[in-house]
Structure 1
Amino acid sequence: MTIRIQIKRAYEEAQPSDGYRAFVDRLWPRGLSKETFKFDAWYKDLAPSAELRTWFGHKVENWEQFKDSYRSELRAPEQQERMRELLAAAGKQAITLLYAAKDTEHNQAVVLAAELQAMSTAARKRAPRKSA
């Protein structure tokens, strides 16, 4: 079974179909209170480094380099472990990565979702198959 990973702005209302809701920004979303924002865990250390986030500045012309640089950050052993922890915490639920950026196509959650999906797929291929 393939795990379903979706992304959603933090400002969108939570839905039962969201499954495990992981907030993946380094900074708290402007205008949201901790009492009303519904999420299961805050993975701020999985967000891009402060330096990379500042350099990117959500400028579309920096997107391709940002993706490459962020993927490099995510390949560090401690980041790989954090991604495994997120996948384990979700269990068999769908995962919704929550982010605050206005741009729905050019943000770190897009990159992280792809990396988590690849990790999940690779782990599934390595897992021993049940015999009949």
Structure 2
Amino acid sequence: MFTVQRIYDYRPDGNPAVFIDRLYPRGVTKEKFAAAEWLKDITPSTALRRRYHEDPEQNFSGFATRYHEELQGEAQQRAIAHLLTLEKQHRSVRTFPRWPNI
């Protein structure tokens, strides 16, 4: 089971935590962040993210299609497999995307 939380609410407690974003979160100390894994490969590419943010409502359909295509890449599939392995090993994994509304 995956639980989604904001990275700013993260408190290390020994359970697996995965940060899913391409950009380092502002205001989060490296000490606090060190306890979480950072899976950048699951996130949209920089170019795709920028295009989406130009006009989210108009660009969402194209974004979703292109993002799905990006997730078929080798590095992305490895990151997804790693995330699923964590979930099988620990049954509960907290994920911390900065973009929970996408």
TM over 0.5: yes
Which has the higher Rg, Structure 1 or Structure 2? Answer: 1
Q: Secondary structure at the match of 1:105?
A: coil
After superposition, give the CA deviation of every residue in 1:46-66 in whole Å (9 maximum; x if it has no partner). 221111111112743122322
For residue 83 of structure 2, what is the aligned residue in structure 1? 86
For residue 98 of structure 1, what is the aligned residue in structure 2? 96
Matched, 1:76 2:73: yes
Checking the alignment, whether the CA contact within 8 Å between 1:46 and 1:74 is kept in structure 2 is yes
Checking the alignment, whether the CA contact within 8 Å between 2:6 and 2:96 is kept in structure 1 is yes
Q: Which amino acid aligns with 2:25?
A: P
1:1-132 counterparts in 2 under 5 A? Answer: 4-14=1-11, 19-37=15-33, 39-57=35-53, 59-61=55-57, 62-90=59-87, 91-101=89-99, 104-106=100-102
Q: Return the TM-score normalized by structure 2.
A: 0.77
Q: Return the TM-score normalized by structure 1.
A: 0.62
Q: Which has the higher contact order (CA 8 A, sep 6+)?
A: 2
Checking the alignment, whether the CA contact within 8 Å between 1:23 and 1:39 is kept in structure 2 is no
Q: Structure 2: any 5+ residue segments left out of the alignment? A: none
Distance 1:20 1:58, change over 3 A: farther
Number of matched residues?
A: 100
Q: Percent identity?
A: 29
